[in-house]
Homo-oligomer: A and B are copies of this chain.
Amino acid sequence: MSKNPKVTVVEAYIKALCEHDLVAIDTLFDDQASVEDPVGSEPIQGKEAILGFYKTAFSSGISARADGAVRLAANHAVFPFIVELNPGNGEMRLEVIDQFSFNEDNKIIAMKAFWGQENISTP
């Protein structure tokens, strides 16, 4: 069985976070996508704002890795992962669950990141 295309997107997203690959991020999101990170904050809208958001994240030396299986339901992929910011230099570790909602072309149209103060640690 070939891999579900939504799982492929999740894997490409985590790889892009690790490699600070803005071109890959550009490919994964729809032009009209929204990003709410964390959930409860003001969502950002549109490709330009989203690329700016990730550019800032990349400048903080972000890294990421999967923390469990991708769950698939309707047009959503929901997955637990670990984000590390500023590794080796005042490192901060976040436990996150992202919800990606997809359009019919399997581009991300909405990303919601669930994490809060309780999910931050400084090892």
Contact status A114-B78, CB under 8 Å:
yes
Contact status B68-A68, CB under 8 Å:
yes
| Closest CB in chain B relative to A69 CB, distance in Å | 4
Q: Which of A52-60, A84-92, A115-123 participates in binding chain B?
A: A115-123
Q: How many residues of A contact B (CB 8 A)?
A: 29
Contact status B71-A115, CB under 8 Å:
yes
| Closest CB in chain B relative to A71 CB, distance in Å | 4
Give a binary string over A90-123; 1 marks a CB under 8 Å from any B CB, 0 the rest. Answer: 0000011101000000000000011111110000
Q: With A80-B68, A80-B80, A97-B97 as given contacts, are A73 and B7 in contact (CB-CB < 8 Å)? A: no
Residues of B within 8 A of A7 (CB): 118
Contact status A115-B73, CB under 8 Å:
yes
